[in-house]
Structure 1
Amino acid sequence: MKAIFLDKDGTLVDDLPYNVEPGRIKLCSRAGAALRLLSRLGYRLFVVTNQAGIAFGRFGEPAMESVHEHLQDLLFREQLTLDGFYYCPHHPDGSVAAYARVCHCRKPMPGLLLEAAQEHGIDLRSSWMIGDILHDVEAGNRAGCRTMLIDNGNETEWRLGPRRIPTRMAPDLYAAAVLIASHGGAP
């Protein structure tokens, strides 16, 4: 099985920092069309997202279930299915002791992708990680995926390194889907 791993904020949905209010979560422009194209190509869809707001006490971990349900509903309206939703609640500088730690699931580490791959039998070399910052790219590269950077202005540091170079770049999710479709099956 091949997958598309999607960062949530700024890639799949409009970026509203620390937002867990379902009514304010909106798909990015043309996200539905992009994901339908990728789905027709046989990709399964997974969200992999850092949620440091939990570690900083801005919202509790139960809020993520509402976010997950709302994303499933938004995608259902687009005739799509979300095959998995993975999030990291940790941050090393967090104020909530249970979540204030270094971990292997917080991007740029690949833990979320590796967990999804193990649970769902995903071939990582045939899969793509799509995100709007280089931490997403690094996580995908560390996991063995091809990577797509959505260059929409959300990456502000541009700290490059061997694991932080994307396979491709696109201005939005729809353009990313078209590039992936044209990339064919070659790893």
Structure 2
Amino acid sequence: MIDYNKVLCPAIKEMKPSGIRKFFDIAQQLEGVISLGVGEPDFKTPWLIRQEAISTLEKGKTCYTANAGLIALREEIAKYFQRTIHTSYDPNKEIIVTVGGSEAIDLTIRCLVQPGDEVLIVEPSFVCYRPIVSLCGGVPVVIETKEENEFRLTADELREKITDKTKLLVLPYPNNPT
């Protein structure tokens, strides 16, 4: 039998379970409940998208892709940005495709944060920011927004938290979960 207390790193052992996941598990057991706990829509994936997924599987496209994602998809993303916001990105060097937002957030924070770096996190917010920062050896610095400001970050609140060790500001919009 493995004694996980001896093999897991301290940062993992100190990490608290996600309240959203606990809520999700409870909601799954109740009839007639629409859980918005993990950010899923309250409708089924449109048939056109499901059909394309089935077709892709039938064609045998079931292998790993490049770590950055399919080049054809990255090229289309580059074209989309050029067409919609007139901004050029190199699909070979400046665009990656992730399996979801959580993976993209995790990769970004891991690439930028080093031990001792402070990361400003506007709250209330998505539950993953603090644990990822801690796993990198960074220091999460919470900026609590207030109802009287309609949960908007003010310039004064931001200035108050910035130090010489500040490396990153996590500023999601619209702020999750408000």
Quick check: TM above 0.5? no
Q: TM-score, normalised by structure 2?
A: 0.29
Q: Give the TM-score normalised by structure 1.
A: 0.28
Structure number with the bigger relative contact order (C-alpha 8 A, sep ≥ 6) is 1
Task: Specify the structure having the higher radius of gyration (Cα).
Answer: 2
Which structure shows the bigger proportion of residues in helix conformation? Answer: 2
